[in-house]
Amino acid sequence: MKLPESIKAIIFDIDGTLIDSLDAWAEADREFLSEYDIPYDPVISERLKTMHYTSAIQFFLDEYDIPLSFDEAAHRITEIIRHKYFHEIEAKPCVMEFISLCHDKGIKMCAATSNSRELAEGALINRNIAPFLEFIITSDEIGSGKEKPEIFLYSAEKMGVSPENTAVFEDSVHAAKTSAAAGFYTVGVFDRHYADEFDHLKEICSHVIKGFDRLI
C-alpha cells in the first residue's frame, strides 16, 4: 500500500500508533502495587482503562491500604510511567523507516495525542522521532478529546494543508471515526490491545495496515 499522491501531510497518533506504549500503563500499575506487597490482578488495569488519570489514582487509594496521600501517590506513579516513556518504550517496527521516507518526499508530519506533553515529547525525543515532526499537540492544549475533530483540524491548518490532503494515522476506533468524518484520509493502524476492534477500523478508515512495513 502507498499513500495517495494527493497526501501532503500526516497527523500521527502516538500511543499504540507510533510507539508500543499501551503495556506501560499496566506495568506501572503492577510496579506501584508491588512496592506495597499488593498482588497485581490484570482486571485492575482493565478497570482503569476507562478512568481519568486522577480517578485511577483515587481508585488505588480507596481500594488498597496504601499509606500515601493523593499527591504522593500521583508523584510516584508519574515517576514510574515517566521512566518507561523516556527509557523503555520502543517505536513500533519500521516507524522510523516510514517517517524518513515521508520526510525525504517533503511530506509534513506532526503528532496529535490525548497523552500529556511531557510523556509524548519524552517518548518521541528519545526515539529520535521528534526531529522529523513539525510539532506535537495534545488534547489538553486544544481543549477537547479526539471524539471531536478540533485537534485534527488545528493540526492540518497549522501545517497549511486541507483535510482531504492530510492523512491521519490512528489505532483507536473513536479517533479514526472522528478524523474520517471530518474528511481526512484515515489510516487505521493495528495494535494488539485493540485487536478485537480492527474489523471496525476497516469499516471506518480509508485504509488499514497491520504494520508500517506495509508502507515501505
Distances in Å between the Cα of 190 and the Cα atoms of 6, 175, 181, 186 are 24, 14, 20, 13
* Local mean pLDDT, 10-residue blocks, the chain (216 residues): 93 96 88 91 74 79 90 93 94 97 97 93 95 96 94 98 98 96 98 91 96 93
Residue with cell 508523584: 75
How high is the pLDDT of residue 187? Answer: 98
Give the count of domains, the chain: 2
Domain boundary among 66, 88, 110: 88
**What distance in Å separates the CA atoms of residue 190 and residue 148, rounded to the nearest whole number?**
22
Same domain, yes or no, for 83 and 169? no
How high is the pLDDT of residue 98? Answer: 98
Domain span including residue 130: 9-21+90-215
How high is the pLDDT of residue 153? Answer: 98
How high is the pLDDT of residue 49? Answer: 65
How high is the pLDDT of residue 45? Answer: 72
pTM here is: 0.90
- CATH no. for residue 39? 1.10.150
Cβ atoms of 82 and 200 within 8 Å: the answer is: no
Q: 3-state DSSP call for residue 176?
A: helix
Same domain, yes or no, for 96 and 200? yes
Same domain, yes or no, for 131 and 75? no
How high is the pLDDT of residue 50? Answer: 61
